[in-house]
């Protein structure tokens, strides 16, 4: 991916090396519930709320390092793409902030640690990212390359797009009327739609900047495959249980990204041009 020398977003908050104080509280419980609904183990977050503070001297923030520059360029690309797409639908795109952190972070959804992975908090409209996730993604999941990393950011920003259209809120409103299996199926649809939106971003940013290099799309598709529910359950030595899927299979996630890349539009990912949220059917 050609990214050096291009516009960097000013909406990145660098909190790396900062201490996050506080034991488990109401906000942490809320985040644990959200994380559980997305298929994670809530104990991961609850236990992190009781972790001792990490010393800020162990990893000082370096605001102008290559990693942060890369994130700022990718976020700027998402801003350009979604500003244009929203404008074409007569809407205004409210740009999210992206928070870089190390070890753990305080969000409006509660305290979360690095092991949660990148996440979007609708309460403050911010994406949270510990850059160490990219190293783990390459080493443990085999998803390497800068465009694989860009896909992760674009996917989380995709959740922001869904939030602006009311899709995420609508799903949560319907939660009480659904069984766990039914809610899991809706969660899969939302996650696949975010993958589709990441594909739209990939195509649109290449059209704007001619930034994609040979193999970039394959990197993103490989990353989508690496985080499929079936593959993650298999790699963990667990029995594959489709009813427990919350993000989609590897094949579904690859297909969703590919579809977004091919159609390149919001409506192609089933996001309504009239400003009304539609169910994600991918």
- Secondary element (H or E) of residue 13: strand 12-14
Task: Determine the pLDDT at residue 272.
Answer: 62
pTM of the model: 0.81
The DSSP code for 178 is S
Find the radius of gyration of the CA atoms of the chain. 18
Residue 23, φ and ψ in degrees, nearest 5: -85, -175
Strands 12-14 and 97-100: parallel
Task: Determine the pLDDT at residue 198.
Answer: 97
Strand partners, 105: 112
173-181 contacts, C-beta under 8 A, 24 or more apart: 175/37, 181/243
Of 188, 158, 171, the C-alpha closest to 269 is: 158
Task: Determine the pLDDT at residue 68.
Answer: 92
Three-state SS for 211-276 is CCCCCHHHHHHHHHHHCCHHHHHHHCCCCCCHHHCCCCCHHHHHHHHHHHHHHCCCHHHCCCCCCC
What are the per-10-residue average pLDDT scores of the chain (282 residues)?
Answer: 91 86 45 44 44 40 76 97 94 96 89 87 94 89 91 96 91 84 89 96 94 92 88 82 84 94 91 49 38
């Amino acid at each position: 991916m050609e990214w050096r020398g291009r516009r960097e977003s000013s909406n990145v908050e660098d909190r790396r090396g900062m201490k996050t104080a506080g034991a488990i509280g109401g906000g942490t419980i809320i985040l644990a519930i959200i994380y559980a609904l997305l298929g994670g183990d809530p104990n991961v977050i609850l236990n992190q709320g009781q972790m001792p503070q990490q010393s800020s001297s162990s990893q000082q923030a370096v605001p102008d390092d290559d990693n942060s520059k890369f994130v700022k360029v990718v976020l700027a690309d998402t801003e350009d793409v979604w500003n244009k797409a929203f404008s074409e639908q007569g809407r205004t795109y409210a740009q999210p902030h992206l928070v870089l952190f190390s070890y753990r972070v305080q969000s409006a959804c509660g305290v979360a640690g690095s092991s949660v992975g990148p996440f979007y908090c609708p309460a403050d409209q911010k994406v949270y990212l510990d850059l160490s996730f990219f190293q783990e993604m390459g080493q443990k999941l085999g998803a390497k390359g800068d465009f694989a990393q860009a896909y992760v950011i674009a996917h989380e920003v995709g959740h922001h797009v869904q939030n602006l259209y009311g899709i995420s809120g609508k799903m949560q409103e319907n939660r009480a009327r659904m069984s766990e299996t039914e809610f899991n199926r809706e969660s899969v649809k939302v996650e696949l739609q975010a993958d589709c939106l990441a594909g739209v971003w990939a195509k649109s940013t290449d059209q704007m900047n001619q930034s994609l290099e040979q193999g970039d799309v394959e990197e993103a598709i490989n990353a989508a495959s690496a985080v499929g529910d079936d593959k993650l359950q298999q790699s963990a030595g667990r029995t594959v249980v489709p009813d427990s899927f919350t993000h989609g299979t590897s094949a579904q996630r690859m297909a969703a990204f590919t579809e977004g890349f091919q159609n390149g539009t919001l409506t192609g990912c089933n996001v309504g041009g009239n400003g009304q949220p539609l169910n994600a059917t991918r």
